[in-house]
Amino acid sequence: LHKDKDIKEKNLKDQIDVVINKISTYKVKPNYNKDIELSENIKILNKQLDKIKIQNIIKDKNKNVIKDKKIKTFTLRQQVLFDFPPKELRNIVDQSKKDIKKGIVVGFSIFEGKVGVAVGITNELTKIYDAVALVKIASEVLGGKGGGGRKDFAQAGGSNKDKIEEAFKNLSKEIN
């Protein structure tokens, strides 16, 4: 029993070392705290690593491709993020809505062979456009099953990452 505990502790320490080394490659100080449990440290360090990866993707113009198009009196933004977890799209879309001030943001994320899509609409345009209806259009093209959300923000997924441009074209037609 004591030997099993030692093996488990060594495995946890090894996992911590791996994550600390990954964090260190980004020239960031790891959030390691020797006063808390090893398993808790692993959670904290993995969250830190995920956050760093996301920040780096956002800064990388090859992994965060933004195209803005003027439509009538507002901006239609297409944003494609590579190796980016879909659950983080909400934050990206919210930030882009602030950046463009008035418009519609369509964010796509490609992650682990799947594609996520999120549509955000600034307040003054929610009387004209519905994010849920728009995200469903994109989801169908991407091989997904609908999605959902609210009038100002909706999210869906799909399996066909090669159809992002087609999905965006279909949305653009609907918005024009």
Over range 4-14, report the average pLDDT.
87
> Is the pLDDT at 154 greater than 90, yes or no?
yes
> Is the pLDDT at 132 greater than 80, yes or no?
yes
Confidence of residue 8 (pLDDT cuts 50, 70, 90): confident
Are the C-beta atoms of 131 and 150 separated by less than 8 Å? yes
Question: In sequence order, which residues have a C-beta less than 8 Å from that of residue 174 and are 6 or more positions away?
Answer: 133, 134, 137
Whole-structure pTM value: 0.81
List of domains in the chain: 2-59 (no CATH), 64-175 (3.10.310.40)
pLDDT at 7: 87
pLDDT at 23: 87
Confidence of residue 1 (pLDDT cuts 50, 70, 90): low
pLDDT digits (tens, 9 = 90+) for 20-46: 988 888 888 899 888 999 999 999 998
What is the overall mean pLDDT for the chain? 92
pLDDT digits (tens, 9 = 90+) for 69-122: 999 899 999 999 999 999 999 999 999 999 999 999 999 999 999 999 999 999
pLDDT at 9: 86
CA atoms within 13 A on the CB side of 162: 0
